[in-house]
Every structure is written in structure tokens, then in C-alpha cells.
Amino acid sequence: MSRYELRFRQVHLDFHTSPVIPGIGKAFDKKLWQERLRVARVDSITCFSCCHHGYSYHPTRVGEMHPGLDFDLLRAQMDACHEIGVRVPIYITAGVNNRVAELEPGWRELNFEGRYVGWQPSPVLPGFKSLCFNSPYLDYLCEYIAEAAKLFPDADGMFFDIISQNQCCCPWCMRAMKKEGFDPEKEEDRKAFSDRVLANYMKRSVEAARSVRSDMPVLHNAGHYLGPGYGHLAQYFSHLELESLPTGGWGYDHYPLMAAFCRTQEKDFLGMTGKFHTTWGEFGGFKTANALRYECAAMLANGSKCSIGDQLHPSGMLDESTCRLIGSAYAEVEKKEPWCRGAVTAAETAIVSNVGFQGWKPENETPEIGVSRILLESHIPFDRLDERGDFSPYKVLILADNLRPDAALRKRLEAFTAAGGKVILSGTSFLKKEENSPAFGLPVESSCKVDMRIPDYVQAAPEFAPEGISTPFVMYRPPVEMKCTGGRSLGKIFAPYFTRTYEHFCSHQHTPFEPEPSSFDAGVLTEQFLCFAHPVFTLYALYGTEILKEFIVKAIRALLKEEIQVVTDLPSQGRVFLQEQKKERRYILHALYATPSLRGMAGEAFMPGMRPTHPVEVIEDLPVLSDVSFEVKVPRPVTGVMQAPDGGELPFEYAEGRVRFVLPRLQCHQMVVLNY
């Protein structure tokens, strides 16, 4: 199957509608539907076949049409859209289905403690119920998908939602585990079996989706299954959709890390935000137009297409205010598309993914979050690689905190450095996976032990010291012991008088440091390696300490020297991404700037069934920056610099592989075209 090309301006139109609501679709009007899609400047909209409540929005033999609906709403929506050239992928709930769960409770997932899995811990609380893909439910689901494929052969894809398979211990899984040689008492066996069940679900659901049309696009909305480490499942996706609502709990730094991996893959992908102030299912909730403008610009800058989540009112008509809101963002996207179509990453730095090499766990993801935030705030373009990734396009690779390289990875890294590449290490990524010995021939003596006297402190060497900080600053996690025998020491470690316990503690938090430094160094810098003794990226993810970031970034810049790809005076909230359109012979520099602020507060639910409140990252204002300078390293001589999409030319200087220019005005997003 050839690469499936997505459209740039999409809407994901949720329609999870209670069966007790009457008059479903009564307000649907084809002409008004089309008019509001034009206002929103939408070119693709995902509409519902079956929702989480378990009801269908068209006649069905396999499932049950919503009791409040008396016509084929999905067909009416699809025909109206196709008439004006708008694509319509169809949505089918998969991982949860309340109607089926209530009819067939034996098909539900059971956890290790014997409790049903779902969105609420109690059956008397409102929420959706999870089903097991190893039960007869999978037969039902695939029959439903095949029916939808037959009813809607002109659909522009199928979107399957809530795709996961937990370590289920339902009777179907218990019998199958025993038959296939898995021990259900062992977590690793339950996990391995659940992975097999998930892959089988994907295989069978795709076969059902393509039972009428072999080219039917398919997407499994599957969270971290779209990220590093799941390349064996890629065959079951025609493209990728990254759900990441900044105000829905993901935050504004989540999407860039996910996109950094997806843009290294061969599949087209989109980002999915929402028009809601909070998250899905929020009727009457709106974020600001400025927030949507920024979020869509960030998707383009990260190399993806755009999707905005909405929820259709039971009456069946698109909300006028929402369409105007979406249109304010998509009007800008539409103008920018020519400089985004076919663009590929031009980053020269890559994160070697902890998750991709060690599996998804919070302790593996946290270091990557820290790395990505450091790079984003320092304006260093980057990608993210798993074990299937190609190292050769990059100048710098980062192994963060707990990624201890095995023999195969060490061999690849040795070839990378032999070709002139540079490597950044931190914490235990300095050590071999299979034994406590240094993974690389760095000029250090090391016991390879983690010094558990915490917190300790670092007095940075003068060239790496944060501005105005010449005394030791606190480190909240323990380092690997190392002493420099060559290279440049990053600084000295000061040990605490003692570790805080009930027997001996000092003040409110930290035990102070001893007056004299220990014999250990905070890290080492050579021509090709930078190694931090502490898990500095986890520390930054957890604490966000500015002086720690300055220490890290000064060391990174000292390693990179002439390999620094972008130098700019853009503030730390600014974001920089570099892409290349090879056919058009140009690089596209994306500069973004916004100032998210935290609004709201944590609070108890007002009444049972309501969600508790929590702080929300909000973008309200888009400040204007003036005269932002850039220096960009590019491998081809630049012949012209212009702003897009307005086409204004910029004065520039090009010498020794670097182009220099000043961006006179930046508000929200500006693309700068570097022609070669």
C-alpha cells in the first residue's frame, strides 16, 4: 500500500450520545452543514458510525441504531461532505462499548485483582466499560467493522478508538494463557500475552476494514502504541494521528516529543488538539482563537497535518461559534500549506529513545520529557529514534539517564562516533546494560556505583556555571561516581553531611553540603562525548530548575561548537523547527512564540459524576517580538531568504555554511524560507 497522504485541515467530530436523549439528528440540514464546514475551512471530518455508548448512527444488522435516531445520519453527513470535496473517515469505538458490555459482561476486561476494567471504579458511577479483545467481543467487533465497510465503501478511512489490551485475567484470557504456555501469575507473562492479543486485534480489524476496499485507510487511536518501540505494529496503520490536547492534561510540550518520533517514520501523520477549554465531551467549552492558532502552527512546524476535536450536539448540527473559531485557525493553515507539503525533518540532533529501547514505563519516558524540554527551550531542532531508527543523518545523539546500552546499541554508537558523530550521556546511560562497567572509553575512573547520599550538590566549572552561581547547587537524584582523568571536568560534587532520616536531619528539606568537595566529578567533556554524572534530564523534567538547565545547555553547546544548528535570541518560550522541501530546493525555518499560563486550580468534584477541577495551561495573548536574530547552519549555500506566506524578502549573510538574518516581527508563527 502506497503512502496515504492526509489533508491539512481536519476535524474529529465526537458524537458519544446517551441513548436516553431523543431527537437525534433532527436539526441536520445539508446546506447549513456544508456552509458551516466552509466557514471552518475544513477539508476532512471524522463522523460517527458507533460511539462509546454502543449505538450506531445508521441502520445496522450487527449493532443497534441509536433509539433516538430515525434516519441514516452518517450517510447524510458523508454525502453532504463529499458533495463539497470534504473527506469523511468514519469512527468506530473499539476498546469500550457500554451497550455490548451490559449485554455481555463476560466479554469485559478483568484486572489481576478480579475487578472489571473501566473508566470508573464503581458501576454506580458514570463512565465507559472496557472490553477484552481476546473474548468473543473481537468476533462481534470485526463483524460490525465489515458491515460498516460494506455500507460505506466510499468512506475515506476508518478510525478505531480506545485501543489497548491490559493484562486481562478474564476466563477467556486465563484459558488461552494456560493453553499457550503463559503463566498468569507472572506479570511479564500477562504483559507478553496481552501484546499478542493486541496484535491479533489489529490484524483482524484491518482485514475487516479492507474486506470491501483493499485500500481503506485505517487508524488505531492507541496512545503510546504510536510512539517508539512499536514498529512491529506499523503495518496495521495507514497513517498516524497523535491525540494531544494541551488543555486536556497533555500540556504544550507533549506533542513536540511525540511528533519528533513520528516525523522519522514513513507514514504521514497529524496532530489532534481540541476546541475545548478542557478536554473531550465539554459542551459549551471554547478555547481562545489565539490558542488554536498557535496549536495548529505548532503542528505544521512539527511536520504534521492538523486536526481539531469537537463534539456534535445530539440535534446533529455543527455549532456556529465553533466553526468560526476553527476557521480562524484554519484560514492561516490554508495559506501556509505550500511550504509544509512534502517537508521532511532537517534536524541534526536526535534522542535515542529510552521508551523505544526499554519499553514504555513512566521511568523511561520522564528522561525523554526532560531532554525534549531542554532542547525546545534552547532552540535545538531534534528528532527521536527507536531501535529501528537510522543514526546516520544526525550529528549528535542523546542517551538520557537510564538507557544503558546493550552490545548491539554500543556497536552502532561506536560506528556513529567513528564517523565523527557526538554522543551525550547522563546518569546510568554511561554504563553497559549487562554489567556495571563503563560503556565507552571515556577518560574517567569509575566504581560504576550510584552514590546514594542525597541530595548532593554540584559546583560547576567556571565555563559551565549558571550566570551568577559560583557556589554548589542542589541535585535531587544520585549520580554515578566518576573521577576525570582527562578531558574537561564539568565541576565537582559536594556530598551532604548525611542522608536525611528520622535519626539525623537538618532544617526543612536538605542536608547542607560539607565544606570541601568530594573526590568525584559532575561529568566529563571530550571532543565527541559529553557525560553528566547525574540523571540531569529526569531532574529537569521533575523540577524545572533554571540553573540546572543553564548548566546542561552550556555543556551541550561546548560539545557542539560549530555543530550548533540554530543560534537565536528568541526567548525560552519560543520554539524553532527546521524542515526541508527537497523538491522545491529550500529549507523552512519555523519560529513560534506564545506564553502559556496556568489557570484554574485543583478542586473536588461539585457532585458525583462530575470531574474534579485541575489547573489548565491557557494561551490567551500572542505577544509580538521584534528584531529576532537567527544564525542557521545549513549544508547548502543559501541564495535567498524570504518570509512565508507573505513573501517578503529578508536581508541575509551567508558564510562558511551559516546563514544569518533578522526577523523583524514574530507573532505566534513565522515561516522563513531559505532557498538554495
Report the candidate in 222, 256, 480, 438 with the shortest Cα–Cα distance to residue 351.
256
pLDDT (average), residues 29-58? 98
What is the mean predicted confidence (pLDDT) over 579-597? 97
For 213: left if phi > 0, alpha if psi spans -120 to 50, otherwise beta; the answer is beta
H/E element, 223: none
Q: How many other C-beta atoms are found inside a 10 Å radius of the C-beta of residue 651?
A: 8
> How far apart, in whole angstroms, are the C-alpha atoms of residue 518 and residue 478?
14
Among candidates 668, 661, 667, which has minimal Cα distance to 642? 661
Give CA separation, 511 vs 257, 438, 453, 508, in Å. Answer: 35, 30, 10, 9
Q: What is the pLDDT of residue 135?
A: 98
pLDDT in tens, 481-538: 999 999 999 999 999 999 889 999 999 999 999 999 999 999 999 999 999 999 999 9
In the chain the first and final C-alpha atoms are separated, in Å, by 33
User: Looking at the domain 9-341, which fold is it?
Assistant: TIM Barrel (3.20.20)
> In sequence order, what E strands does 236-304 have?
240-243, 269-274
Three cell numbers written together for 479: 549520580
For residues 292 and 307, give the distance between their C-alpha atoms in angstroms, rounded to a whole number.
11
Q: What does the pLDDT read at residue 224?
A: 80
Q: Which residue has the cell 542536608?
A: 511
In angstroms, the CA 203 to CA 587 distance is: 39
What digits encode the pLDDT tens for the residues 50-88? 999 999 999 999 999 999 999 999 999 999 999 999 999
DSSP characters for 61-118?
SSS-B-TT--S-HHHHHHHHHHHTT-B--EEEE-SB-HHHHHH-GGGB-B-TTSPBPB
Query: Is residue 55 within 8 Å of 99, Cβ to Cβ?
Result: yes
Give the pLDDT mean for 436-441: 93
What is the spatial distance between Cα 143 and Cα 647, in angstroms, rounded to a whole number? 53
Distances (CA, A) of 368 to 125, 208, 401, 435: 36, 37, 9, 23
297: enclosing H helix or E strand: helix 289-301
> Given pLDDT bands bounded at 50, 70 and 90, which one contains residue 2?
low
Spatial separation of the C-alpha atoms in residues 497 and 505, rounded to whole Å? 10
pLDDT tops 80 at residue 667: yes
In which band, very low, low, confident or very high, does the pLDDT at 318 lie, cut at 50, 70 and 90?
very high
Identify the band that residue 454 occupies on the pLDDT scale cut at 50, 70 and 90.
confident
Say what the pLDDT of residue 18 is. Answer: 98
CATH class of segment(s) 349-564: alpha beta
- Residue 351 in this model has a pLDDT that exceeds 70: yes
Total residue length of the chain: 676
How many CB atoms are closer than 10 A to CB 489?
19
170: cell is 478474564
Question: Which CATH code for domain 567-675?
Answer: 2.60.40.1180
Percent of the chain with pLDDT over 70: 100
Whether residue 1 is predicted with pLDDT greater than 70 in this model: the reply is: no
Instruction: Inform me whether the pLDDT recorded for 304 exceeds 60.
Output: yes
Q: Does 605 have pLDDT greater than 90?
A: no
**What is the spatial distance between Cα 162 and Cα 45, in angstroms, rounded to a whole number?**
19
What number is the average pLDDT over the span 467-472? 96
The count of other CB atoms within 10 Å of the CB of residue 1 is 11
Mean pLDDT, rounded, for 575-582 = 98
Q: What is the pLDDT of residues 393-416, one digit of tens each?
A: 999 999 999 999 999 999 999 999
> What's the CA dihedral at 460, 461, 462, 467 to 10 degrees?
-20
Identify the three-state secondary structure at position 291.
Answer: helix
The count of C-alpha atoms lying within 13 angstroms of the C-alpha of 94, restricted to the half-sphere facing its C-beta, is: 30
pTM: 0.95
Provide CB contacts within 8 A for 488, sequence distance 6+: 461, 463, 524, 525, 526, 558
Q: What is the DSSP letter of 515?
A: S
76-126 residue pLDDT tens: 999 999 999 999 999 999 999 999 999 999 999 999 999 999 998 888 889
Map out the domains of the chain as residue ranges. Answer: 9-341, 349-564, 567-675
Average pLDDT over residues 224-250: 92
How far is 146 from 439, CA to CA, in rounded Å? 52
* pLDDT tier at 349, thresholds 50, 70, 90: very high
